[in-house]
Amino acid sequence: MRVVLLGPPGAGKGTQAQIIAGRMSVPAISTGDIFRANVSGRTELGRQAKAYMDAGDLVPDEITVAMVTDRLAEPDAKAGFLLDGFPRTIAQAEQLRDSLAELGHQLDRCLELVVDEDELVRRLSGRRMLVDGEWVQRDDDKPETVRHRLEVYREQTAPLSGFYRQAGLLSQIDAIGEIDEVTDRALTALGFTDDGAAGAPAAS
Ligand code: ADP
């Protein structure tokens, strides 16, 4: 199954992506994580991406699309994947559609996590990550950058909701609530039952 997870910064995409991908037995592919790993590993890709990320801007499509295309060509993504943080622009979504089509594949679903903006600002400003045993704030979770990231989301990424609705692929779920409640809504929207089978009718 090939799924895109859509939702604003702070919607809980990373958390849900890990859990849902585990249940689907496909890799969770997060462009944000790949970029951050490249920044801390001081690679050329990391060097190119860092300034955009620190400012809360999107890394240019050219760089991002090439990176995702490489990742999707790896053997573990052949049978399916869950994309977290990609696509983030209509151009990225079109490129994803076209490169999947070249391989004779297509996306099965876009799952959108819906959370209102007040809740997002609250979550992002309080978010900390464990790095080398210490809780630190991500540089781009500072209040000014958070506001800018939400603007970038509204302008460049939110239109993907309409793009995938038109393609007949969109499912939206309310992403406010306990983590496992949101996971249940997500799995239901994706047609997963308790035994992990996709699309099978729910056990009676
Ligand atoms: P969040 O969803 O919380 O904003 P991510 O970890 O997904 O965080 O992304 C962090 C940063 O990485 C983004 O602000 C952006 O600079 C860059 N990035 C991630 N995915 C993409 C993408 N698909 N296109 C462009 N830039 C991206």
Q: Which of 72, 140, 145, 156 to mutate to test ligand 1, by most ligand atoms within 8 A of the CB atom?
A: 140
Residue having the nearest C-alpha atom to atom 1 of ligand 1? 9
Residue having the nearest C-alpha atom to atom 5 of ligand 1? 32
Task: Give the pLDDT confidence score for residue 122 in this predicted structure.
Answer: 85
pTM over 0.75: yes
Give, in order, the Cα–Cα distances in Å from 80 to each of 21, 77, 107: 10, 5, 9
DSSP letter string, 34-53: HHHHHHHTT-HHHHHHHHHH
Beta-carbon contacts of 131 under 8 Å, excluding residues fewer than 6 positions away, are none
Q: pLDDT by residue for the chain (204 residues), tens digit each?
A: 999 999 999 999 999 999 999 999 999 999 999 999 999 999 999 999 999 999 999 999 999 999 999 999 999 999 999 999 999 999 999 999 999 999 899 999 999 999 998 889 888 888 888 888 999 988 888 888 888 999 999 999 999 999 999 999 999 999 999 999 999 999 999 998 765 455 544 443
Contact 29, 71 (CB under 8 A): yes
In the block, tokens 């239109």 appear at 159
Closest atom of ligand 1 to 32 CA is 6
Task: Give the pLDDT confidence score for residue 85 in this predicted structure.
Answer: 96
Rounded (10°) angle between helices 44-55 and 143-152: 100
Residues carrying an active site annotation? 13, 88, 127, 138, 149
Task: Give the pLDDT confidence score for residue 142 in this predicted structure.
Answer: 85
Task: Give the pLDDT confidence score for residue 150 in this predicted structure.
Answer: 93
Handedness of CA 103, 106, 108, 114 (dihedral sign): positive
